[in-house]
Structure 1
């Protein structure tokens, strides 16, 4: 389809999953370089983004060829035995044969709670997720209209999934599917270790370059506005790699914290995947150095600096 055509125009080599797929690519006027077997002969590490449960079947092939591999969050933690969010579990991934980059929502949960944990503030967290209905490129074929669909299980899978990254997290999530595809929206109620202040909490969030504090009173009060901002500043595909957390909504009452944020389902795991490659290939043993390199390449620090009206200082 058009996505393969764009990839070819950008200079990417195309391969088919099997001979039939190679034939289909040729019929479409494209020039594949061979099958998956040929691709794996050239690979140092595989980032498998196939639909959930498909990658689990590919793992046998990767292991037989001695290839390192990274799976996406639709696969079970048990397939790799390690789940990845750079700010939490990078060190444990260094030199491993494989890892699993968790889903967009789970990534945001771990990022924000890790920031609070690092500041010595986190006891427990309860979150409600408003999930986009389908992937944007499929919204003409699937999704929902004129309704909301609550996920029947409490906790929803994101809470236990966050615990696969950090078993120490006391976290429960609930989720509802909503009729839009721009991003996800989270609301959180967190129990703190002690009475705190709004500024102390904001300072904890500022400790992560991958959390961008935004303000609704500066025109960024809705998901579409934030996506338009990303397009206007020239982010590829309008990608928001950071958790966009509303600074002006953060509320602290004694030892209770309340906040909300936006998750770009197509973008947030991109820096995580880059760091995961570095980790399992043992290219950089120090998590902070890997994240600094990734953030600089994607302009993450520049976005945070722009929000704070500060000069960007990325190492």
Structure 2
């Protein structure tokens, strides 16, 4: 397989799936064989415009999709005969029912963070546990918030700085395209369970992480905001902490002094940078507000929930199929192809390899 492109299908062409499909196409060692779904709305019609072969995820959807003018190539069962791996981005609880289908077809599979860790027995963040995913039949790329936790706290742990961490997550109410469907309006809703699920979920990737998370849902759809209080292992300086963040991939720095003062500021910046769909794949960490007092660290960052897990999914494809044995090489390859940076503007604006 190392001498040919890995054949990939994306099952579920929604918020995450469409981004995974585009990222697969950007890689020179992968081939997007097709996308599968059950809907026939504008999203699938755009996939057709892009030239992506479209398949029905189940036979029941075939008639409606064809009636809507979707030029179906076949069904998911047909497609599974042609691929090496499935990136499953179907809705929560739908994906778990697909695992046995993939196994029966002898196809490897990647699921998203809406599924439980127990579904696959392995949860994935590339910089933390790439090696343990090599050759596996299936894994689960953890959620957007959990991915950010592992990236940032993992960086501090790797530098020997992390003792324990306590974080508050201010979550967006719903995805932007669903803002007319439902959601929180003119209020903030505290989650009733502490820790919120993201802390324990991060421990499925890094078991000895001492982390507690508290979450609230706010009346916005732009992205998530994390605010962290960390006890360090020793007295440290701001420069030492920043150095720990700078040596790991997929953390990029924001400056309030540049006028990037809120979640909406980065959305405008990503659009001006020409990012596809205005996506931010990196953790956007505010550098100038990061504060160290003795052995205590305080910082804030932004998580663009629609995009952050996409490069992780690409690395998971390489790990499961074994086409790249070195995690950092895979990360560098993914980031180069997609255009991830260390700073969005300024002196450190380089690819995160």
How would you bin the TM-score normalised by the shorter chain? Answer: over 0.9
Partner of 1:126: 166
Q: What is the CA–CA distance in structure 2 between the aligned matches of 1:192 and 1:229, rounded to whole Å?
A: 32
Partner of 1:254: 294
Partner of 2:347: 309
What is the aligned residue count?
313
Partner of 1:153: 193
Q: What is the CA–CA distance in structure 2 between the aligned matches of 1:313 and 1:134, rounded to whole Å?
A: 30
Q: Does 1:48 align with 2:123?
A: no
Q: What is the CA–CA distance in structure 2 between the aligned matches of 1:89 and 1:127, rounded to whole Å?
A: 22
Instruction: Tell me if the contact between 2:110 and 2:141 (Cα under 8 Å) persists in the aligned partners.
Output: yes
Distance apart, 1:214 and its partner CA: 0.9
Partner of 2:17: none
Deviations 1:129-152 (A, max 9, x none): 000001111111111111101110
Deviations 1:163-207 (A, max 9, x none): 001101011101000111110000000110001011100111111
Q: Does 1:266 align with 2:312?
A: no
- For residues 1-315 of structure 1, the aligned pairs below 5 Å read 1-301=41-341, 304=342, 306-310=344-348, 312=350
Instruction: Tell me if the contact between 2:126 and 2:327 (Cα under 8 Å) persists in the aligned partners.
Output: yes
TM-score normalised by the chain length of structure 2: 0.87
Instruction: Tell me if the contact between 2:111 and 2:139 (Cα under 8 Å) persists in the aligned partners.
Output: yes
Q: What is the CA–CA distance in structure 1 between the aligned matches of 2:295 and 2:190, rounded to whole Å?
A: 29
Partner of 2:33: none
Deviations 1:7-29 (A, max 9, x none): 11001111112222111111111
Cα 1:258–1:314 change in 2 (3 A) is closer
Q: Give the secondary-structure state (helix, strand or coil) at the position aligned to 2:288.
A: helix
Q: Which moved more, 1:167-176 or 1:204-213?
A: 204-213
Distance apart, 1:209 and its partner CA: 2.9
Cα 1:20–1:8 change in 2 (3 A) is same
Which runs of 5 or more structure 2 residues have no equivalent in the other structure?
Answer: 1-40
Greater helix content = 1
Q: What is the CA–CA distance in structure 1 between the aligned matches of 2:270 and 2:323, rounded to whole Å?
A: 30
Q: What is the CA–CA distance in structure 2 between the aligned matches of 1:46 and 1:64, rounded to whole Å?
A: 13
Cα 1:314–1:216 change in 2 (3 A) is closer
Distance apart, 1:306 and its partner CA: 5.0
Q: Which runs of 4 or more aligned residues in structure 1 lie more than 4 Å from their structure 2 counterparts after TM superposition? A: none
Q: Give the secondary-structure state (helix, strand or coil) at the position aligned to 1:213.
A: strand
Cα 1:19–1:288 change in 2 (3 A) is same
Q: What is the CA–CA distance in structure 2 between the aligned matches of 1:116 and 1:110, rounded to whole Å?
A: 10
